[in-house]
Amino acid sequence: MAHEMHELDHAVYGSNKAAWHGLGTVVEGNPSSREALELAKLDWLVTKEPAYASDGDGGRVLLASDDDAAVDFDNMPQVWLTCRSDLPATDLRRVLGAVGKSYTPIQNSEAFEVLDALIGEGGAKIETAGSLFNGRVVYMTALLPDEISIKGDKINKYLLLRTSHDGRCAMEALFTPIRVVCNNTLTWALNKAKTRVKIRHTSGAQSRLDEARMVLGLADQYFGEHAETLKALAAAKIDARFVEAYLSALIPGPKEPEASPASSLVRRDCSELIVALSSSISPEAANASAPQPRIATKTTQVIHFFNIFISFSQ
């Protein structure tokens, strides 16, 4: 289950755009934080409860207590459980994780309050929100104004807020062009992020406002640098010889061509495809340095593209 949306997870997707997995609720426009909280079914509380272990004789041993003197912790750390409030005590799926005594849960509604501060300061709009791993991870993305335009291609700017209820990560904000709708896209955004901001767990409205201004200032800086990088890449000219050299480095030819011709075929197909699709290559350069592509239509080009990389991954 690559999307990691389990039976207790849900999500809401704005702008009338569904996710690739077909799950969740799709709405037109952009929901408010209250609407997103309810539509994504995140309107439950996170509680912190003491953990118990078996004593071997059918009884229980307390592993956590607010009173340190009540339990002998000389040989073991205190263990508490984070649980979701919308399930009965007999449903073990309510347990989200094991944490220490000092851990303070951040409620889903508090995460949306942070996002509200960002929206109020920067004109952002909620685009997606949801949970993963049965509520252990919660995410929300806000669509920032003023998209990036590179030679007619529009690139959206998102602010991603991610937190967890199992103690594995703090709440953080990061900036990404990726619209997060599942664990795949969340992981992609996290791995590609160059700037992350840890969000402190504060209750004051002014503190949230100050933090929002700081985060939005970093967002402007990040996306400004990102736009310059994309413009430089878009302006770069390539020819068929560059494509061939790049693909030779990416997919080296076999040491014994007679024994293993697969990589040569993949490299040839990739070269033809890039030459066919790249508007930066002049017809003269393409004709002089590479064979005419065998791909007739854009539809078959896309299919051929995926076939190439499927065959390469195998």
pLDDT in tens, 1-58: 578 999 999 999 999 999 989 999 999 999 999 999 999 999 999 999 988 776 677 6
Q: Does residue 270 or residue 154 have the better pLDDT?
A: 154
Per-chain mean pLDDT for the chain: 77
Query: Which of 39-53, 179-193, 274-288 is predicted least confidently?
Result: 274-288
Q: Supply the DSSP string of 70-126, one letter for each residue.
A: GS--SSS---EEEEETTS-TT-GGGEEEEE-TT--PPPHHHHHHHHHHHHHHH--EE
Between 127 and 313, the more confident residue is: 127
Say how far apart CA 238 and CA 244 lie, in whole Å: 11
Q: Which residues contact 87 (CB under 8 A, 6 or more apart)?
A: 8, 93, 94
Q: Residue 288 has what pLDDT? A: 46
Q: Which two tokens stand for residue 130?
A: 């949801």
State mean pLDDT over 83-103. Answer: 91
Residue with tokens 């272990």: 53
pLDDT (average), residues 93-113: 89
| Confidence band for 274, pLDDT divided at 50, 70 and 90 | low
Q: What is the per-residue pLDDT across 197-243, written as a single tens digit (0 to 9) for each?
A: 777 655 554 565 566 667 667 777 777 888 888 888 888 777 777 77
For residue 109, the tally of other CB atoms under 10 A from its CB is 14
State residue 165's pLDDT score: 93
pLDDT at 180 > cutoff 90: yes
More confident residue, 141 or 238: 141
**What span, in angstroms and rounded, lies between the C-alpha atoms of 297 and 54?**
66
